[in-house]
Amino acid sequence: MTQPSNSLHIENKPLRERVLDVLREAIVSGEFKPGQPLVEMDIAAQLGISRAPLREALQFLSHEGLVEVTPYRGTVVKPLTRTDIEELYSLRSVLETFALQRIIAQNQPENVAQLRQCYEEMLAAAQVGDLKLVNNIDRQFHDLLIDLSQHGLLTATWNTVSLRVRQVMALRNRKNRDITQIAYNHLPIIEAIGQADEPLATRLIQEHISSSGDLIAELWDDVPPEDGQS
């Protein structure tokens, strides 16, 4: 996340990590649907690798909560229940609130500037109507919030939560109302941080997150996509 961007560097990650990236992206993007079984032999053949690194990647994914491994039974993409989503967003709210409080405590104008710049980009994208870009920047915004908190363990925890949030957002049928409104919603939070008004910032971020979380959870069909067999 804080790559020094040293130019001239070829990727030589172990196979398991590249496999991990591919599978994670497939799940988080919704390409692999919740409940879908992941048969090791098939995937290994499909990727043209052996099962060893694949298995290690699957272990990783199970720790990230994206898949469920049942010994001797197999691996499936973890089903997403409504309760899961509620838990996801409630914990997310807690983590972001914590990050926000730390940022305010640091009281560094540079931080606010970064957040504000992120906001500007989001607004610009919204005004052009680029929904996908808005969502990406929105994600960047919240990642940045965590990153600025300077808390490694929080960041690590956030990363696993964030993945599943992405998955949820990829799977729901986007009820995207006013796109620019999405961007506008972030401004008060930034301002509250800038004024070091912790109670206000806390209230705003919690409303911001839980409102979107509730919206998604309410509309969630449990067990929505019976996989294409039946």
Partner DNA sequence: CGATTGTCAATTGTCGACAATCGACAAATT
Partner DNA sequence: AATTTGTCGATTGTCGACAATTGACAATCG
- Taking CB under 7 A as the rule, does residue 68 contact DNA? no
Residues in binding contact with DNA, number by CB under 7 A: 22
> Per rule CB under 7 A, is residue 50 in the interface with DNA?
yes
Amino acid in the structure at residue 14: P
Residues 81-110 that bind DNA (CB under 7 A): none
Return the residue of 14, 159, 218, 227 that touches DNA, per CB under 7 A.
14
Which residues in this chain contact its own copies in the complex, by CB under 8 A? 13-14, 17, 52, 55-56, 59-60, 63-65, 71-72, 83-84, 87-88, 90-91, 94-95, 98, 151-154, 156-157, 161
* By the rule CB under 7 A, 26 interacts with DNA: no
Collapsed DSSP state (helix, strand, coil) of residue 69: strand
* Binding partner of 91, given DNA, its own copies, none, CB within 5-8 angstroms per partner class: its own copies
Whether the Cβ atoms of residue 210 and residue 93 lie closer than 8 Å to each other: yes
- The DSSP annotation for 80-133 comes to --HHHHHHHHHHHHHHHHHHHHHHHHHT-HHHHHHHHHHHHHHHHHHHHT-HHH
In contact, 76 and 39? CB cutoff 8 Å: no
Please state whether beta strands 67-70 and 37-38 pair in parallel, antiparallel, or not at all (unpaired).
unpaired
Q: What residues make contact with DNA under the rule CB under 7 A?
A: 12, 14-16, 37-41, 49-53, 55-56, 69, 71-75
